[in-house]
A and B are shown apart, each in its own frame.
Chain A
């Protein structure tokens, strides 16, 4: 009993220290350092998407895989079916806690990086993202169909991508890649994981946070609409009345 009580805080402290040390200086011991050109992406009124540069170095030659994951949400996937000639949503499946954004970059094809179990364990590659259905009674075949559709639709919106070969080595040890975020990118805290892979094994991994958030007037409007929605609604009506009246006045004089 006594040892247990002691063991828990000690463990926690060690973990905390470890996390701290791992962050920068000690990372070299892991054979990998990487950082982003920006840790904050601001969505302003003129936002049309942006690029963030990721660069890093390895102490010995190896392969690099970069995984960007957006905030996790529940996503309902619906399938249409024909009812008396009309196409309507019928079957649906909810994937719990899936990343709303996922991008993979690597310096060589996925198959050459590491064996499948390693990729699966680290969720490297679109097919290796863990998709858990909330509904318990669903066949594997059905789940696979919905998962395929989910990934296809996310790719179509440019929210999921696997741009293999986008990581380039400049010398044998310095690498860089460009992370592309489209204009419809969801806001939230992202994680950028960099994996150093050698001989099909993940030697080390480093995780860097990236914050994507609205700023400026757009952010104010969004927050106001969500926090004080009644006042927002009233203001929307008043400004519509004022703008409509003003427009009428301007054109009446002509």
Chain B
């Protein structure tokens, strides 16, 4: 069954959208990640114009993250003070991201920017995750003691303007969460991702938050930042397709249920290894697309009414 997407101005198969939603939902339920970093490239791959894909995916992530935040909130798994500092950076960063998005698409460089940023960030995160899971699996084989926690880089402790975060039991510079939030915000505005794949490692290794509040607090930031991206993209570029977001959500909630069940059966380090492979696979696919000579060197963009 075909459905006409009113903002994307194209008709797509409903089953394809539900399937995409379910597949990405399955993986995100299994690995506990948002899945925006998989969904945006997939949407572009099936022919949704990049500006629509990015903006609508932000809208989809708001929807798919909200019940997670509520669940973690009830379990007291959200550090609201930390979330607020992350958000200060996140709001500024995502606004800048959406603004940059407009400039880049006017210049015809947005596709390149999206692909390059994905390759860089997914590449780094994927390699780090792969390294860590290989290390833990090896150590497990040798029956050695668990690794000592990765230390915060020293320069971080010398940053000024320290603030106390009771819930996370931290006394750190306010610049740290604001900076992390801003970086992730820029990515959210440009790439249509929640940014969990950067945010969660940054919260653990850079900020040093206890794992009990990491997921809840990151979801808290993700909901507000993607809402901001949705709003700004709507106002500035009219690129949010609510029909597209709705069908992705519909497929996603069903897929996530099954993914969570499968994920619960797999041991942690294997899961992390699998996720690392998945992240690296997306990065490599995007890198190849950038490097291999394209089928057609030319592309079109309709810019507006003729005078």
Q: Is there an interface contact between B108 and A78, defined as CB atoms closer than 8 Å?
A: yes
Q: Is A168 located at the chain interface by the 8 A CB criterion?
A: no
Query: What is the distance, in angstroms, from A152's C-beta to the closest C-beta of chain B?
Result: 8
Q: Is A249 located at the chain interface by the 8 A CB criterion?
A: yes
Interface residues on B, range: 35 or more
Q: Is B33 located at the chain interface by the 8 A CB criterion?
A: no
Q: Is there an interface contact between A153 and B291, defined as CB atoms closer than 8 Å?
A: no
Neighbouring B residues of A230 by C-beta, 8 Å = 231, 234-235
Q: Is A4 located at the chain interface by the 8 A CB criterion?
A: no
CB-contact partner of A219 in B6, B67, B235, B306, under 8 A:
B6
Q: Is A214 located at the chain interface by the 8 A CB criterion?
A: yes
Interface residues on A, range: 35 or more
Q: Which of B60, B232, B306 counts the most A-chain CB atoms under 10 A from its CB?
A: B306
Q: Is there an interface contact between B70 and A92, defined as CB atoms closer than 8 Å?
A: no
Q: Is there an interface contact between B299 and A243, defined as CB atoms closer than 8 Å?
A: no
Q: Is there an interface contact between B109 and A77, defined as CB atoms closer than 8 Å?
A: no
Q: Is there an interface contact between B63 and A73, defined as CB atoms closer than 8 Å?
A: no
Query: What is the distance, in angstroms, from A187's C-beta to the closest C-beta of chain B?
Result: 8
Q: Is B159 located at the chain interface by the 8 A CB criterion?
A: no
Stretch touching chain B among A42-50, A106-114, A201-209: A42-50
Q: Which of B59, B116, B238 counts the most A-chain CB atoms under 10 A from its CB?
A: B238
Query: What is the distance, in angstroms, from A93's C-beta to the closest C-beta of chain B?
Result: 10
Given the known inter-chain contacts A46-B3, A73-B306, please indicate yes or no for A89 contacting B231, CB distance below 8 A: no
Q: Is B302 located at the chain interface by the 8 A CB criterion?
A: yes
Neighbouring A residues of B59 by C-beta, 8 Å = 236-237, 240
Given the known inter-chain contacts A73-B302, A153-B299, please indicate yes or no for A248 contacting B71, CB distance below 8 A: yes
CB-contact partner of A149 in B230, B242, B243, B298, under 8 A:
B298
A-B contact count (CB 8 A): 191
Q: Is there an interface contact between B299 and A78, defined as CB atoms closer than 8 Å?
A: yes
Q: Of residues 112 to 148 in B, which have CB atoms within 8 Å of A's CB atoms?
A: 112, 116
Given the known inter-chain contacts A97-B306, A233-B230, please indicate yes or no for A87 contacting B294, CB distance below 8 A: yes
Q: Is B240 located at the chain interface by the 8 A CB criterion?
A: yes
**Which residue of chain B lies nearest to A223 when distances are taken between CB atoms in the complex?**
B6
Provide the B257-272 mask, 1 if CB < 8 A to any CB of A, else 0.
1000000000000000
Q: Of residues 162 to 202 in A, which have CB atoms within 8 Å of B's CB atoms?
A: 183-184, 186-187
Apart from A47-B4, A80-B298, A249-B67: 16 A-B pairs, beta carbons within 8 A: A73-B302, A74-B305, A75-B302, A80-B299, A97-B306, A184-B10, A221-B6, A233-B230, A233-B232, A239-B242, A240-B63, A240-B249, A241-B62, A241-B63, A244-B65, A245-B66
Selected A-B contacts with CB under 8 Å, 26 pairs: A43-B4, A48-B2, A72-B306, A74-B304, A74-B306, A76-B300, A78-B299, A78-B301, A79-B297, A80-B298, A85-B291, A89-B111, A146-B298, A149-B297, A153-B298, A184-B10, A221-B6, A221-B7, A221-B242, A222-B6, A222-B7, A232-B240, A236-B231, A241-B66, A244-B64, A254-B257
